[in-house]
Structure formats: structure tokens, C-alpha cells
Structure 1
Amino acid sequence: MNELAKQATSSETDGTTSWYEASARRRVDLLFDAGSFTEFLGPEVREVSPHLKVFDLPEQFDDGIVVGRARLAGSDVYVAAQEGRFMGGAFGEVHGAKLVGLLRAVRDKRTTPLLILFDTGGVRLQEANAGELAIAEIMRAVVEARTAGARVVGLIGGRAGCYGGGGLIAACCSALAISEQGRLAVSGPEVIETNRGVEEFDSRDRALVWRTMGGKHRRLLGGTDAFCGDTVQDFRATALELLRPASTFGISVLRAEQTRLEDRLARFGECSDAVDIWTAMGVPDAVAIPAMSSDQYISLAERLGETCRDAR
């Protein structure tokens, strides 16, 4: 075995594999206890989208989402992992139904949490109505699961980011973790540019995209509860932290969230760029944030303490 092959094999077994570069199945394989994952409705069942064939588009036998049950540090968890390499991880009828069914199992079980490995650009345009309905059903199912006492945690760091309906679903979760490579927003860069023009948002300006929608900014704004490195081991450690029991979900949590959002708008509503927001937060050298290492940034984020964990 040559040296490069040895390094690749080592990274796959010690958890240093890049989350951003990994497929959905590789993330599941490495995130959870070895050999503990049991898949529901796997590729062998061939539950494919009924719509893609109409548009002469390729199908995938798991319809771009892996769902099942596993163990994390010895504890049972449910898991849903989106495949961003298949149609950008977009939600369609079957893709959405698999996640809704899993969330209902989480609701009924109550004591077993769910990890959603987001990697999605939103709804499939080819399945517009079915996809939009799926988003609504998933959001309702997340709220029902949380109301029943279950914990629903989202992990964001894939190639497709977490956009559109995925961003809405993420906002309903009990807690969120994001890496520097992750992006989180309701409208993606291309959507904003198409509807408002390049003067409003240049989707080709990668620095602008990550500065506005990337993990560092979302963590500082309190849009996520944790920031972690890009390795599978980083996400595993952060997931274990976020899966710890929290306060009961109810109207008081929603009121706290509303208050937090109102305060955010009052403080930063006039800012035109993320750097302006970071400066308003009191960051001494705001322009340096994108170049910070993960350790440097995490230290900064903890000092600022913008995240309000009770507001979830």
C-alpha cells in the first residue's frame, strides 16, 4: 500500500475525514459507533421519486437521503443524512416522506433523539408542490417531536449547505452545529441574485457568500448553537454536547426566540455587511474573522457569548 493510500485509510478510521468532502453514507459510517447503523428503506427497497422520470432525470434508489437508527457513544439515536451530491440534496416527495416518517418515530419514542445531517439546496424544482408540502410536513413533525420531549439536532457542513426549506427546518431544531464550510440561509446566493440583481448580492463572490451565510457568521449571530471543525470527529464531539437534555419545549421558548430575533433586528438592521455586524458586536479586528483558525474563532465566539441557548 502506497503512502497516500495509507493516509486515506487512516483518516477514515480515526475520524479525521473531512465532513465537507464525505458522502452522506461515509458521514454515517464514521460518525456513529462502528457497526451500529441500521438503515430504514435502504436502496434495495428502491423507493424512488415518481416525478424525476417525467423530466428524464436520473433517479437514486435512496432518493438522496439515508435514514435509520444507530448508536453514538453507546446511546441510541435516530439519524437522517442528506446526500448533497444527488440533485443538491433537494427535497422531493419520497425524500421528504422518509424524513417525516422518521420524525414520527422520534415523536412516538420520545426518549431517543434525532440527528439530521443537512446537505441541501432546498426543494426540487421538478417536484415543486410535492417538495413544498414535504417541507411543511417535516417542520410540523419536528415541532411535534420536540413537543413530545424528543431532541432534534441538526449538523451543517456539507457541499450543498442548508438552504431554502432546509434552512426553515433547521430553524425548528432543538440545536444546530455548523462548520466553517457550512452555509445556512433561507434563500441561496443564486436565488437572491436572480430576484434582486447582482448589485444586491453577487453569487460569484465566494468571500461574500461565506461572510454572509457561512458558519462563522451564523454562529456569531446566534443562528447556530455551536461551531466546530470540519472533521467527522469534530462533528461527533459537538453532537454529543448538543444532544444533552435541555429545557422543555413550549410557548416560553418561542417567546424567547421572538425576543432574540427582535433584538437582533434592532441592533443590526442597518448594517450592510457581516463585517459591520461583527464590528457592532465589539470584535476588535472584525475583518480578520474569515482568516481565523477554528480554535481562534471558537475562543472569540465563546467570549462574545451571542448565542442564547434558551431561545430554542
Structure 2
Amino acid sequence: MSRPVSYQEASARERLQQLFDADSFEEFLPPSARVISPHLGQLNAPVAFDDGVAVGRARLNGVTIYTAAQEGGFMGGAVGEVHGAKLVGLLRRAVQDQAAAVVLLVESGGVRLHEANAGLIAVSEVMRALLDARAAGVPVIVLVGGANGAFGGMGIVARCANVVIMSEEGRLAMSGPEVIETASGVEEFDARDRALVWRTTGGKHRYLMGDCHAIVADDIAAFRTAAAQAIATLTEAQGQPVQLSLEALEAEQQMLAQRIARFGQLRDPVEIWSAMGIADAANLPMLDIDQFIAVAGQCRMGA
């Protein structure tokens, strides 16, 4: 039996090559096209010939999908003007070609500060393009398992998708730990407390809170299986709607209101887990994925 391949430790292109059918990934605007940021060079900052994201199409169990993978090794996967434009172009082409689905391998600390407003505008355009894809009947699945997590604008982009799949090692939030500490002080959030960071933003907590729909082991094969299952469910007549409806937004708002009412006064995820009725909540981070899912059971929000 072959050993699992760590999703977290793989590069963007390694994930693309191993997540989808062998040799099926066809890249749009590859590094050889040398489409780089127009801003970084002016700041004497390093550039990447793909601007930190690979976009293209591939097959998953024979089904053609459109996909993008952010490279956390280049500026933490941060979004700049060209990086964002490539994501927007991918989503628009998926609509044009009526792709079976779009799979986004998100790993990003948010907007590239070097590009300031250009990066912010780029992220907003990605959000609009993603919602346009859903409105056109193209489901969007987001995978989060990289070392940099999904923060800032890309954290919002992830939650705009139909389905979010995470590993325990993945992290998802609006603001990063250092940002919260800088803005509100260490008493509000100690970014140096790595256990607290993972309890708060990691895959297990996000799964329990209903912020991600599936949690898998840190294994590319496990992400592949979960993505294929999500696509199959979304494309079946009985699957959840692809479009973002008013009813779905109202249900989400109701769930968030319930979360605040139940857990708004609690300061640590362990307290939240205990309030959800999970026995031995402090031991939850030590459980493997199968054990964790069994314990989570019907306790998770939205279950």
C-alpha cells in the first residue's frame, strides 16, 4: 500500500497533478507566458511568472472541471491584480463552457499588501465571478489544506462557494491571528498561542461550526475523493441548489444568529465544544479524522 501524500506539504502544481486524473491538467497562461504583476517590479519585490496561481482545466474521474491552485510558497498565496484576474478569467470561462464544476485549491493570506487597492479590487472581482458562476449553474468547490490557510479576502471567497472541504491542518478565517492581535491586543487573541490558533481557525472547529461541509485527512487522495463526491451530489437533481438563493441566505443568517446566542460569551473553542454537548472536549484536537467525525455526530451546526 502506498503512503498517503500530504496535501499540506505539496506545492500548488503537485496538488493539481495528483488530485486530478493523471496528466489531465491543462494550464491556461502557464509560467512560459510570463504574465507577471506590473506592480512588484516597481517595488523591487520578487515576481513569479505565474503570479502565484495556476489555472486551467482537468478531469476528475473522467469529468472535465475547471480548477485553480494558489501557491502558498509565493508571498503566502496573496492576491494581486494579475493573480486575481487569472481567477476571474477561469470562473468566467467555466461559465462560458458550462463546466461540470470549478474546484479552487485555496491557500492564501489574503490581499497582497504590495498591490493595495489593486489587490482589494481583484478579490472583489473574484467574489462576483464566483457568484456569477453559481448563478449560471456551475458549482464551485473549495479545498483548504495548505500551510497558509484561507484568510482575508480568500477566506470570504471560500465561504461564497457551494462546498468547502478542509483538513484538520487547514485554517479558515476572515482575519489572521496576527491581524487580530495587532488591532485588538494580545488579550483579545494571542497569535503566538499556536494551539489556540488551530482550535479557533482549524478544520475541526470550522466543521463543528458549519463553516465547512466536509473534513478529511491531510491526504491528497482524501481531498480527491471528497471533491468528486461533492461534484456528484451538486450535479444530481436531488442535490443542493447551485444558485445562491434568498432562502439559503436567510438560513445562513439564522444559523449565525444561533451561534452568537449560544456561544457569544465563550472565549475558547473548547468551551464551545463543551456547550455543544461533546464529552471530553479538551481531547478533541487529539482525535484522528474518523474518530472526530464520529464524535461530532449531530452536534455540529447545520447537521
Question: TM-score, structure 2 length as denominator?
Answer: 0.95
* 2:235 pairs with 1:247: no
Q: What percentage of aligned pairs have identical amino acids?
A: 52
- Taking the TM superposition and a 5 Å limit, the aligned residue runs for 1:218-257 are 218-243=206-231, 244-245=233-234, 246-248=239-241, 249=243, 250-257=245-252
For residue 144 of structure 2, what is the aligned residue in structure 1?
Answer: 156
The AA in structure 1 aligned to 2:203 is: G
Structure 2 gaps, min length 5 = none
For residue 4 of structure 1, what is the aligned residue in structure 2?
Answer: none
Q: What displacement does 1:264 show?
A: 1.4
The AA in structure 1 aligned to 2:286 is: A
Aligned residues between the structures:
296
For residue 123 of structure 1, what is the aligned residue in structure 2?
Answer: 111
Q: Secondary structure at the match of 1:240?
A: helix
Structure 1 gaps, min length 5 = 1-6
The structure 1 segments of at least 4 consecutive aligned residues displaced by more than 3 Å after TM superposition are none
Q: What displacement does 1:106 show?
A: 1.9
* 2:48 pairs with 1:60: yes
Q: What displacement does 1:22 show?
A: 0.3
Render the CA deviation track for 1:119-173: whole Å, top value 9, x for unaligned: 0000010101000001110111111110111100000000110000011101100
The AA in structure 2 aligned to 1:225 is: H
State the alpha-carbon separation in 1 of the partners of residues 98 and 252 from structure 2: 23
State the alpha-carbon separation in 2 of the partners of residues 218 and 115 from structure 1: 19
For residue 96 of structure 2, what is the aligned residue in structure 1?
Answer: 108
> More displaced, 255-264 or 44-53?
255-264
CA contact (8 A) 1:176 1:224 kept: yes
For residue 298 of structure 1, what is the aligned residue in structure 2?
Answer: 293
CA contact (8 A) 1:219 1:307 kept: no
State the alpha-carbon separation in 2 of the partners of residues 306 and 269 from structure 1: 14
State the alpha-carbon separation in 1 of the partners of residues 99 and 66 from structure 2: 11
For residue 51 of structure 1, what is the aligned residue in structure 2?
Answer: 39
1:89 to 60, 77, 80: 77
The AA in structure 1 aligned to 2:176 is: G
* 2:253 pairs with 1:265: no
The AA in structure 1 aligned to 2:255 is: R
Q: What displacement does 1:306 show?
A: 2.5
State the alpha-carbon separation in 1 of the partners of residues 225 and 206 from structure 2: 19
Q: What displacement does 1:107 show?
A: 2.2
State the alpha-carbon separation in 1 of the partners of residues 164 and 13 from structure 2: 20
State the alpha-carbon separation in 2 of the partners of residues 236 and 302 from structure 1: 23
CA contact (8 A) 2:209 2:300 kept: no
The AA in structure 1 aligned to 2:299 is: L
State the alpha-carbon separation in 2 of the partners of residues 21 and 240 from structure 1: 22
CA contact (8 A) 1:107 1:150 kept: yes
> More displaced, 277-286 or 250-259?
250-259
CA contact (8 A) 1:64 1:95 kept: yes
Q: What displacement does 1:109 show?
A: 2.9
For residue 25 of structure 2, what is the aligned residue in structure 1?
Answer: 37
Please provide the CA RMSD for this pair: 1.3
2:194 to 174, 196, 206: 206
For residue 181 of structure 2, what is the aligned residue in structure 1?
Answer: 193
Render the CA deviation track for 1:4-53: whole Å, top value 9, x for unaligned: xxx9xx55xxxx21000000000000000001110000001000000101
* 2:168 pairs with 1:180: yes
For residue 3 of structure 1, what is the aligned residue in structure 2?
Answer: none
For residue 155 of structure 2, what is the aligned residue in structure 1?
Answer: 167
Question: TM-score, structure 1 length as denominator?
Answer: 0.92
The AA in structure 1 aligned to 2:165 is: A
